[in-house]
Amino acid sequence: MSLTDQIQNYVETMVEEKIYEKLGRDVDLDTMVDIACVALNQLSPRYIRYAVDFVFYLSPEERTQLFDDVENAVKEAIEYVKSHKRIV
């Protein structure tokens, strides 16, 4: 088992959830991946081993800021992908 099997970037999960929230579960995978890449490139990673680590180590203010940052990054990424593709 490698190190990368033991850790994850929690921001990836947040971005995925936000895309589904904004576009629904029927969004095609290619579009979703494009949006996720654009959004994730705007955000700093937050590596965790367990999801509880994320909640435990961030202050309420940091959590709020991160949620706001993800919201904005996904919104901008959707707009970017829409303007560069005929899909979405």
Query: If you compute the radius of gyration of the chain from its CA atoms, what whole number of angstroms results?
Result: 14
Tens of pLDDT along the chain (88 residues) come to 888 888 999 999 999 999 999 999 999 999 999 999 999 999 999 988 887 777 778 888 999 999 999 999 999 999 999 998 765 4
What are the residue boundaries of the structural domains of the chain, listed by start? 3-84
Closest C-alpha to 44, from 10, 86, 7, 6: 10
Instruction: Report yes or no: 19 and 36 within 8 Å, Cβ to Cβ.
Output: yes
Q: Which helix (H) or strand (E) holds 28?
A: none
What is the predicted pLDDT for the residue at 49?
A: 87
Helix axes 10-23, 29-40, angle to 10 degrees: 130
